[in-house]
């Protein structure tokens, strides 16, 4: 819509109207679980204390996992020499019974704790530490020497204790998403200043060159159809200079560092909720000793300036671009405190920020600053009657977590900070905070074996892959894709115009790969990183009745593990204002981890963390 709001005097007898436009939507998101959440099937709550939930009690199938209300307003005003535009969005969620169950689980989440140094199970602590009254082992039988048990990890600030406020903060928002001014300097230079989104790259689902912004993946994971709803806008100076002599333009990007801490990096659902990775639902990671997010780390401070450029052009009907950006990585990394494993090394640790609630934090999550060099292309192929596109993104020295078989010993952490007596006092052994640290031979630990002179003494050992030192590897992301109109569908399927097909092959290559580096694919899971992580995606849409009825289907597969997902959908248009979308989000992992935190798992990969997250979704939009 457009309206004339008034006029400004430009010269005697002359006036120019200010053009004002606005648009927006009011939207409802509804999702229903198609499966029970079975991740709390751990057997044998110690001592009858219900620190775990049985799968049939927790349930979830047929219950609402999302009732979300949102509205967005976009407005712009053209004053002639300059323009001002902004976007505001508000979102609120109704707490469902299923989410209340997730909340309860977060307050009693159990961790599998391995046999310790004190004789009768890991939690039978010496009198100086108080003891915890645990009388049964993990199978519910009598506690015997060497037994491991389940315990409420919240006792140690590890997890548990996720509060209602944390979940509401993840889902609810009132935000001015964009506000910027645009103007020209001469005929060739176009300037855009303020909070905005800048999109680079050619990919959907998996990103290679879309690197300037982080994404908020907490409330909808990667499944929302419009990336701009998930992308986190930033305050930027965005200048484009036309160079017609060379058939292209140069874009300059500068981020002065005026954004808030929550505006940079990706936000994953690590505090719990409907998209938390199984079996981490409700772990409350950012409120624990091992997961606080540090946005002011010396290798990734959100207050530091970031910058980059992109040259875009056309050469013999081939569109292409070259780009460089130095900024905050969307992929976070977890770094451990060196006090946990003095024989190891972790050069990323920032000693200026080492305290939480009076205790040393065991680890923290950071988004390091990285450099990325990119190239994209797109061209029409007459032979294939399709558009071909691709991109390359090279990141030197990209950080990765290591330690597929590492353990966090909570008593070792407390001993290192002085909360527990030092070695030798009151019979206290010399405990390590991290066990099986790849860089510390003195931290060797064998699960299930008795403590011997050859092994590190153990207090409260929690399996936590990724707690080894951070290492850096050159990384190359490659995407090859095609977009094609399927003309035959008009005759065979009766579509009102050709159906549309898009295919993408996406590969992440860890260069100079060495299996002995022991890189984990996902922090908290024991599956090792592969040299090539390759996904194939396909998406089809079939327009009927002049695009008012459009069924579609999207599918993707991890070609290394054959984990896959399938998203059938139906888009409906009613007049100029109403839009309705139905879809099912279905995941088919070949291996999943059902047990609670603390169990060694070496096979669960990225799509495996979405086990039992299948759901039916309806999105109802009134647009104006």
Does residue 279 have a cis bond before it (omega within 30 degrees)?
yes
Lowest mean pLDDT among 11-25, 85-99, 302-316: 11-25
> 77: exposed, middle or buried (C-beta count within 10 Å: 0-12, 13-18, 19+)?
middle
Following CA atoms 488, 491, 497, 502 in sequence, which dihedral angle do they give, to the nearest 10 degrees?
-30
Residue 348 makes CB contacts below 8 A (sequence gap 6+) with 297, 299, 333, 335, 366, 368, 399, 470
What gap in Å lies between CA 412 and CA 346, rounded to an integer? 17
Across 588-600, average pLDDT: 71
Mean pLDDT of the chain: 82
Reported as type and span, the H/E element at residue 324 is strand 318-328
Cα distances (angstroms) measured from residue 249 to each of 181, 244, 307, 524: 20, 7, 17, 44
Using CA atoms, how far apart are residues 85 and 177, in angstroms rounded to an integer? 11
DSSP symbol at 544: B
Cβ contacts of 130 within 8 Å, gap of 6 or more: none
CA dihedral (394, 399, 403, 409) in degrees, to 10, reads -160
Higher pLDDT: 81 or 170? It is: 81
Q: At what angle do helices 164-171 and 97-107 cross, to 10 degrees?
A: 130
d(CA 323, CA 328): 16
- Estimate to the nearest angstrom the gap between the alpha carbon of 322 and the chain centroid: 27
Domain boundaries, the chain: 19-113+150-406+464-623
Q: Is 356 a residue whose pLDDT tops 60?
A: no
Could you tell me which residue, 559 or 120, shows the higher pLDDT?
559
Query: Bridge-partner residues for 379, per DSSP?
Result: 388
Percent of the chain with pLDDT over 90: 51
User: Considering the domain 19-113+150-406+464-623 in this protein, what is its CATH number?
Assistant: 2.40.160.10
pLDDT at 331: 87
pLDDT in tens, 510-529: 999 999 999 999 888 889 99
CA distance 262 to 132: 38
CB atoms within 10 A of CB 364: 25
Higher-pLDDT residue of 438, 595: 438
408-461 pLDDT per residue, tens: 887 787 777 777 788 878 777 788 888 888 777 778 887 655 555 567 777 777
- Annotate 267-305 with b (16+ C-beta within 10 A) or e (fewer): bbbbbbbbbbbbbbbbbbbbbbbbbbbbbebbbbbbebe
544, 494 contact by CB (below 8 A) = yes
Helix, strand and coil in the chain, % to nearest 5: 10, 45, 45
């Amino acid at each position: 819509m457009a309206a004339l709001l008034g006029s400004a005097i430009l010269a005697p007898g002359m006036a120019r109207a200010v053009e004002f436009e606005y648009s927006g939507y009011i939207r409802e998101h509804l999702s229903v679980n198609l499966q029970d959440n079975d991740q709390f099937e751990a057997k044998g709550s110690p001592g009858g204390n219900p620190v775990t939930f049985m799968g049939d009690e927790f349930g979830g199938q047929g219950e609402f996992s999302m009732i979300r209300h949102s509205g967005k307003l976009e407005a712009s005003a053209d004053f002639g020499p300059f323009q001002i535009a902004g976007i505001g969005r508000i979102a609120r969620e109704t707490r469902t019974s299923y989410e209340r169950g997730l909340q309860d689980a977060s307050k009693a989440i159990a961790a599998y704790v391995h046999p310790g140094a004190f004789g009768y199970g890991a939690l039978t602590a010496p009198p100086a530490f108080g003891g915890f009254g645990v009388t049964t082992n993990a199978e519910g039988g009598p506690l015997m020497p060497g037994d491991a048990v389940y315990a409420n990890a919240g006792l140690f600030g590890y997890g548990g204790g996720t509060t209602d406020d944390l979940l509401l903060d993840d889902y609810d928002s009132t935000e001015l998403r964009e506000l910027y001014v645009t103007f020209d300097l001469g005929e060739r230079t176009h300037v855009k200043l303020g909070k905005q989104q800048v999109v680079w790259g050619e990919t959907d689902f998996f990103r290679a060159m879309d690197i300037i912004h982080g994404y908020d993946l907490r409330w909808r994971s990667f499944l929302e159809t419009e990336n701009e709803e998930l992308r986190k806008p930033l305050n930027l100076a965005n200048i484009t200079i036309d160079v017609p002599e060379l058939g292209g333009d140069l874009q300059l990007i500068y981020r002065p560092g005026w954004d808030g801490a929550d505006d940079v990096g990706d936000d994953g659902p690590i505090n719990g909720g409907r998209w938390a990775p199984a079996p981490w639902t409700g772990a409350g990671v950012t409120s624990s000793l091992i997961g606080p997010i540090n946005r002011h780390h010396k290798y990734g401070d959100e207050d530091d300036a970031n910058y980059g450029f992109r040259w875009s052009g056309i050469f013999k009907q081939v569109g292409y671009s070259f780009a460089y950006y130095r900024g905050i990585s969307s992929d976070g990394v977890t770094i451990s405190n060196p006090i946990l494993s003095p024989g190891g090394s972790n050069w990323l640790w920032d000693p200026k920020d080492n305290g939480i609630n009076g205790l040393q934090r065991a680890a923290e999550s950071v988004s390091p600053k990285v450099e990325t060099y990119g190239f994209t292309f797109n061209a029409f192929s007459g032979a294939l009657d399709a558009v071909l596109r691709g991109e390359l993104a090279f990141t030197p020295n990209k950080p990765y977590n290591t330690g597929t078989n590492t353990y966090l010993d909570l008593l070792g952490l407390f001993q290192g900070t002085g909360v527990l007596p030092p070695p030798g006092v009151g019979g206290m052994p010399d405990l390590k905070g991290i066990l099986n640290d790849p860089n510390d031979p003195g931290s060797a630990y064998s699960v299930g074996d008795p403590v011997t002179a050859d092994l590190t003494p153990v207090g409260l050992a929690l399996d936590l892959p990724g707690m080894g030192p951070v290492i850096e590897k050159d990384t190359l992301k490659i995407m090859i894709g095609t977009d094609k109109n399927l003309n035959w569908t008009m005759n065979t399927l009766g579509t009102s115009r050709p159906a549309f097909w898009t295919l993408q092959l996406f590969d992440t290559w860890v260069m100079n790969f060495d299996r002995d580096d022991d890189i984990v694919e996902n922090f908290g899971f024991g599956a090792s990183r592969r040299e090539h992580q390759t996904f194939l995606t396909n998406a089809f849409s079939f327009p009927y009745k002049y695009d008012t009825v459009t069924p579609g289907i999207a599918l993707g597969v991890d070609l290394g593990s054959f984990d896959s997902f399938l998203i059938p959908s139906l888009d409906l248009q009613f007049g100029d204002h109403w839009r309705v979308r139905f879809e099912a989000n279905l995941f088919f992992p070949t291996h999943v981890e059902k047990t609670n935190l603390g169990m060694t798992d070496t096979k669960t990969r990225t799509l495996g963390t979405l086990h039992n997250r299948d759901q039916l979704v309806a999105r109802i939009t009134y647009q104006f």
